[in-house]
Amino acid sequence: MAQATEIKVRGYHLDLYGHVNNARYLEFLEEARWALVDESGGLEWFTQERLALVISRIDIRYKRPATMGDVLKIETRMAHLGEKEGVIHQRILRVDNEKVVAEADVSFAVIHATTPGAMPLEGELGRRLQEMMNV
């Protein structure tokens, strides 16, 4: 099951057509990912192990515009966990009618502060990533 973050659309999120701006959706997705990592206790562990999650690709499909006053929820789940790359699937829905506003596949790797290259997503790291996002 996916975790959910809620955001209410405000005036400063909108462009001149009265719709949430493209770039702003990426902040909504990022907010939801941080909330997930944070609530799972993963943020502390990542910091302590000097690991960082690096986004390598975002493929976002805009389905319906969101506008002033809409309450959006962002669902986030691990869709795939490969050797050195994972894919997080995120959906942004309107809370009132459950319609999908946007959905995205976010590819990532994990890097270490002093080790070059992507870390293998196995062992404690793999287990924590799975737990975090309910594979």
**Nearest residue (CB) to its own copies, 47 versus 122:** 47
Per CB under 8 A, residues contacting its own copies are 8, 10-12, 14-18, 21-24, 26-27, 30-31, 34-35, 38, 43, 52, 55-62, 68-69
**Nearest residue (CB) to its own copies, 18 versus 122:** 18
Instruction: Name the nearest CA neighbour of 70 among 2, 5, 6.
Output: 6
- Measured from the CB of residue 132, what is the shortest distance to its own copies in angstroms? 16
Beta bridge partners of 87: 80, 107
Contact, 110 vs 127, CB < 8 A? Answer: no
Instruction: Please state whether beta strands 71-81 and 51-62 pair in parallel, antiparallel, or not at all (unpaired).
Output: unpaired
- Measured from the CB of residue 37, what is the shortest distance to its own copies in angstroms? 10
Instruction: Name the nearest CA neighbour of 107 among 72, 74, 59.
Output: 59
Determine the angle formed by the axes of helices 22-39 and 123-133, rounding to 10 degrees: 110
Write phi, then psi, for 3 (nearest 5 degrees).
-80, 155
**Nearest residue (CB) to its own copies, 21 versus 130:** 21
- Measured from the CB of residue 68, what is the shortest distance to its own copies in angstroms? 7
